[in-house]
Amino acid sequence: MTILAENLKTIRKNLNCTQMALAQVLDIGFRTYVRYEAGERDAPVAILVKLAKLGNISLDRLLTLKITENDLDNPDLDTPPPTAKNLEVIGGSMEEGRLVFKGIKDDFLISTDTNEKSLLNRFRKLDTAAKKQTLQEAEWIINNTSSLRRPTSGKRPSRKTQKMKNAARLKKIAKTVKKITVKG
């Protein structure tokens, strides 16, 4: 049995659910869920994200460490503790530019490049409005410079049109998402 399969079983037992109930919550077939829990089939990322949220743990932790019921009683923190004592690295590396710590939901980006560090420090000193504007401009540059390199056929839609299309697409996605809670 794989670590993931054992973790799925632990999360289900901690939620006091049957396999059938959890399959319904995840909006998948009963037999499909049974195969995930038996380790016969790999779950897609969307299902893994939902399971991590149900267990109140990070996705990295769900996939890499064997979870006990005691671990689920102490959920992963959204923010790191004020001191770095007893932090255990469970994923990531310097080469990847990120680290994942046991007991903390988010991963942390790290940098060894002096220019990147300088840029991050300057960004952190900005006020909230300036940070928001900087991120929007950087996103626009990233999205538009790649399209400038390739020849395009026809006229590009305006930024306002793109935003409206994205908003409509997100509203459509939001309507399709089922909001189901698990009762213990």
Tens of pLDDT along 84-142?
Answer: 667 767 666 666 666 666 666 666 666 667 787 788 788 888 898 888 888 888 888 88
Count of structural domains within the chain:
1
Handedness of CA 56, 61, 62, 66 (dihedral sign): negative
Q: What is the mean pLDDT of residues 4-9?
A: 90
Q: Is residue 33 part of a domain?
A: yes
- Tell me whether strands 98-101 and 108-109 are parallel, antiparallel or unpaired: antiparallel
Distance CA(113)–CA(105), nearest Å, equals 25
Is residue 89 in a domain?
Answer: yes
Whether 14 is covered by a domain: the verdict is yes
> pLDDT value at position 78?
56
pLDDT-derived band at 181 (thresholds 50, 70, 90) equals: very low
Q: What angle do CA 77, 80, 84 make, to 5 degrees?
A: 130
The residue length of the chain stands at 184
Evaluate whether residue 71 is within a structural domain: yes
For position 9, which CATH number holds?
A: 1.10.260.40
Nearest Cα to 5, choosing from 45, 34, 46, 44? 34
- The tokens of 103 are what? 């007991």
73 found inside a domain: yes
Tell me 94's DSSP state: T
pTM listed for this prediction: 0.47
Q: pLDDT confidence of 184, banded at 50, 70, 90? A: very low
The pLDDT score that the predictor gives to residue 56 is 82
- Residue 149 falls within a domain, yes or no? no
- Asked if 101 and 42 touch (Cβ cutoff 8 Å), the reply is no
The alpha carbon torsion through 17, 37, 57, 53 (nearest 10 deg) reads -60
Tell me if 82 is assigned to some domain.
yes
Does residue 70 fall inside a structural domain? yes
pLDDT at 154: 65
Quickly count: other Cβ atoms within 10 Å of residue 149's Cβ: 6
What are the pLDDT digits (tens) for 34-70? Answer: 999 999 998 898 898 888 888 888 787 888 878 888 7
Q: Is pLDDT at 82 greater than 80 in this prediction?
A: no
Residue 33 is predicted with a pLDDT of 92
User: In terms of residue numbers, what domain contains 82?
Assistant: 3-109
Q: List C-alpha distances in Å: 84 to 37, 93, 102, 162.
A: 35, 17, 12, 43
Mean pLDDT, range 171-179, rounded to an integer: 64
pLDDT score of 179 more than 70: no
pLDDT computed for residue 34 by the predictor: 93
**Which pair of tokens denotes residue 70?**
């005691």
